[in-house]
A and B are shown apart, each in its own frame.
Chain A
Amino acid sequence: MSTLAASNKRSFWSVVWDYITTVDHKKIGVLYLIAGGFFFLLGGLEALAIRWQLVKPMNDFVSAGFYNELITMHGTTMIFLAAMPLIFAFMNAVIPLQIGARDVAFPFLNSLGLWLFVFGGIMLNVGWFTGGAADAGWTAYTPLSTISPGEGMDYYVIGLQISGAGTLMAGINFLVTIINMRAPGMTYMRLPLFTWTSFVASALILFAFPALTVGLFLMMFDRMFDSAFFDPAMGGNSIIWQHLFWIFGHPEVYILILPIFGVFSEVVSTFSRKRLFGYSAMVFATVLIAFLGFMVWAHHMFTVGMGAAANAIFAVATMTIAVPTGIKIFNWLFTMWRGSIQITTPMLYALGFIPTFTIGGMTGVMLAAATADYQYHDSYFVIAHFHYVIIGGTVFGLLAATHYWWPRMFNRMLDERLGKITFWIFFVGFHLTFMIQHFLGLWGMPRRYWVYLPDQGLDLGNAISTAGAFLMAIAVLILLYNIIKTAIKGEPCGDDPWDGRTLEWAVPIPAPHYNFKQVPLVRGLDPLWVEKMDGRKEMTPSEPLDDIHMPNNTVLPFVMTIGFFIAGFGFIYQKYDNALNALIFVGMGIALGAMLVRSLKDDLGYHIPKKELEKEARK
């Protein structure tokens, strides 16, 4: 069943069918990577268009309306359709292996979550072709979003609702997987940091996404069914949207960064050849950040007029978060201290991440000071701040994870020389783009404006910023070239290419689809390293060889998603013609029918008999 060997003989469409129906977490991880990577490139193109519009004063590269669509879709795409799915890609590819499980707890749900995200993302982008995409900013503040003409915002609402449901499912799935599917001996305090941080991020998804779901439903009713939740003239309140959005939105930024903290913890520890310094403090800091993350949402709303007392409370709560984050920064530094450091590409990203993220954190504390925030609010200073934490944190982390786990996922090493070139161009390009934006903001450049006047001291800064953006684009192109080159010419890398410490490197490369022939016994933190230090090459099994139970492939999640996708169009267009309600009935009929089939038809999976496993072992 090994994909690489088998795909040589199989037709293209049989591979496609295999991937559409798969419930294997490793293949779902690959699909998340492809889809997330596609949206990352799309969001990047939108970013380049934004920067090109701002390259000189009073530029007319795009119109004002189209510029609004670009900034809205850039933000929405990057957060919901690129960063989060790419994190899910690595969570899927790695976590079951790291905890010694044969699959996730709910393989069916895993597949459903993936397809809901993919089709939600497509739905968001359909707006481009129907007279304008969403244009009210990625935060979609009311009343701007409720009165925005056309269907762009409708696609935003329905698309995010569908992909958000997928994210919620994925989050629940990983919570249950990590609680229930750990191998014998894998106690909570032996979980690799990536698993720990993903676990906490999944809990954040579970608690934060419902707020978004509720907000989106209210907006959907306001836009499509003439309700007035956000319309003050009818007794509504437009501030509720901001609260609901940020009650979700602030935990969301920790959902984006916590798993990345985990990635860097793994990378720093592996390439310093030391166990992570202050493991329990790292876990504690992660949980504390998650806890505090729910009490700070209103720091996005200091200028709304909540009053001095509320502002002060949220300002202090926000500044507290700097403490656990600082604990983490120092722990990474101490892990490297006196370690035997190898500067590999993932390690380079980790080294670049620490100062960059610290700068982003410092500007975060500046923004948290409510009184000063009146000055920074809605200026390029804010843009610079969140790009320092999202690119300097999340994107650096995703690129590090790509290089680090690429051999785990595809049995190829990415070219190290090209990887390092990518890093340096991306790193320089990134700082060139965003460092100057701090100052542009302080010099008075407001965010979301499509033009600025000449000779106001903004010309040079914007030109520098645009140049940096193109450097980042070049770096991404080199990465793509690297991927294609190693896919065509690269040699299979074999097992454990980085001399790893955690359990995912104990699994052969390419991994058998059941991951572990015998579930391993975990004897300490960094289980593979523990065995290596005892002079063994592989894990001690915790069970005798026996039949393995695996789930069946199924196309139902894909069918369900198609149903919701069709129903989405029905909801958007029913206001023009009652006949279009038929789309809602057809779509929901397909989705509910697929659910009914899933409920009534027992699908108990299948067993791989012991004999077959023994035969494989002899080969």
Chain B
Amino acid sequence: MEERATFNEEFIKEKRRQDMRHQVLTFSMLIIFTLISFGMVMSDLNAMFVRMVIILFAVVQVGFQLYYFMHMNEKGHGMPSLLFYGGCFAGFLTVLGLVVLTWW
């Protein structure tokens, strides 16, 4: 019993340490992405290219936010993810429809 308890404790500790490492890592990534974005806007790169990269960064940052800071990567978040992606799907279709059918 005793041994098992310490093992469990160690496991939880290790897991927490890893979680913390992920959090810090993603947080620094977010800052780096933001710095790169600002840098690209200040430089003389092609405007279209800059826009595309910034949008890509934005998508990745939202993903980080949801999965690491809002814990969607943990178990028991199946239904929220399903509804979340369902909403994204409906929203995407709406925007696509309006762009393609009315403004193109």
CB of B90 within 8 Å of the partner chain: yes
Q: Give chain A's interface residue range (CB within 8 Å of chain B).
A: 10 to 19
Q: Among the listed B89, B90, B102, which residue makes an inter-chain contact with A237, where contact means beta carbons less than 8 Å apart?
A: B102
Does B63 count as interface, using CB distance less than 8 angstroms?
no
B87 touches A206 (CB 8 A): yes
**A175 surroundings in chain B (CB, below 8 A):** 83
State the CA gap A420–B30 with chains docked (Å): 67
A208 beta carbon closer than 8 Å to chain B: yes
Cα separation A367 to B94 with both chains bound (whole Å): 23
> Contacting A298 at CB < 8 Å: which of B86, B101, B103?
B101
- By a CB distance below 8 angstroms, the chain A residues around B93 are 247, 294-295
Minimum C-beta distance from B90 to chain A (A): 4
Task: Name the distance in Å between B92's Cβ and chain A's nearest Cβ.
Answer: 10
Is A341 positioned at the interface, with any CB of B under 8 Å from its CB? no
- Enumerate A156-215 residues with CB–CB distance to B below 8 Å: 175, 179, 203, 206-208, 211
Residues in B with CB closer than 8 Å to A207 are 86-87, 90
Residues of A within 8 A of B94 (CB): 211, 247
Closest residue of B by beta carbon distance from A295: B93
Q: Which of A472-493 contact B (CB under 8 A)?
A: none
Complex contact B102–A239 (CB within 8 A): yes
Q: For the complex, what is the distance from the CA of A210 to the CA of B37, rounded to whole Å?
A: 32
Give, as a whole number of angstroms, the nearest-CB distance from B6 to chain A: 33
Q: Which of B94, B98, B102 has the most CB of A within 10 A?
A: B94
8 Å CB contact of A297 from B83, B89, B97: B97
Please measure, in the bound complex, the distance between the C-alpha atom of A333 and the C-alpha atom of B3, giving whole angstroms: 61
- Of residues 60 to 104 in B, which have CB atoms within 8 Å of A's CB atoms? 79, 83, 86-87, 89-90, 93-94, 97-98, 100-103
- Which residues of A have CB within 8 Å of B97? 243, 247, 297-298
Q: Is A122 on the interface with B (CB-CB < 8 A)?
A: no
The distance in angstroms between the C-alpha atoms of A208 and B83, with both chains bound, is 13
The A contact surface, by secondary structure, is helix
**Residue A6, interface by CB 8 Å:** no
Contacting B at CB under 8 A, from A295-310, are: 295, 297-298, 306, 310
Given known contacts A294-B93, A295-B93, A306 and B83 CB-to-CB distance under 8 angstroms: no
List A contacts of B83 (CB < 8 A). 175, 203, 206
A548 within 8 Å of B (CB atoms): no
Query: Residue on A with the closest CB to B80?
Result: A179
Question: Which residues of A are found within 8 Å of B79, using beta-carbon distances?
Answer: 179
B contact residues, total (Cβ < 8 Å): 14
**Which residues of A have CB within 8 Å of B101?**
239, 243, 298, 306, 310
* Chain B residues within an 8 Å CB radius of A418: none
Q: Is the CB of B86 within 8 A of A203?
A: yes
Measured CB to CB, the nearest residue on chain A to B93 is A294
B87's nearest neighbour on chain A, judged by CB, is A207
Which of A239, A294, A298, A310 is within 8 Å of B90, CB to CB?
A294
Within 8 A of B (CB), among A213-259: 237, 239-240, 243, 247
Q: Separation in Å of the A208 CB from the closest CB of chain B?
A: 7
Closest residue to A178 on the B side, CB-wise? B79
CA distance A240 to B90 in the complex (A): 16
Residues of B within 8 A of A295 (CB): 93
Are B100 and A310 neighbours in the complex by a CB distance under 8 Å? Answer: yes
Within the complex, the shortest CB–CB distance from B102 to chain A, in Å, comes to 5
Contacts of A179 in B (CB 8 A): 79
Closest chain B residue to A211, Cβ basis? B94
Cα distance, A298 to B93, chains bound together (Å): 12
Whether B102 and A243, one on each chain, are in contact in the complex, defined by CB atoms closer than 8 angstroms, is yes
Residues on B with C-beta less than 8 A from A294 are: 89-90, 93
Q: Which residues of B contact A243 (CB under 8 A)?
A: 97-98, 101-102
Instruction: Tell me the nearest residue of chain A to B91, going by C-beta.
Output: A207
For residue A306, which residues in chain B have a CB less than 8 angstroms away from its CB? 101
Task: Show 24 residue pairs from A and B whose CB-CB distance is below 8 angstroms, ordered by the A residue.
Answer: A175-B83, A179-B79, A203-B83, A206-B87, A207-B86, A208-B90, A211-B94, A237-B102, A237-B103, A239-B101, A239-B102, A240-B98, A240-B102, A243-B97, A243-B101, A247-B93, A247-B97, A294-B93, A297-B97, A298-B97, A298-B101, A306-B101, A310-B100, A310-B101
* Extra 6 A-B pairs, beta carbons < 8 Å, given A207-B86, A240-B102, A243-B101: A207-B87, A207-B90, A208-B90, A247-B97, A295-B93, A298-B101
**Nearest 9 CB-CB pairs, A to B?**
A207-B90, A239-B102, A294-B90, A179-B79, A306-B101, A247-B94, A294-B93, A207-B87, A243-B98
Q: Residues of A with Cβ closer than 8 Å to B?
A: 175, 179, 203, 206-208, 211, 237, 239-240, 243, 247, 294-295, 297-298, 306, 310
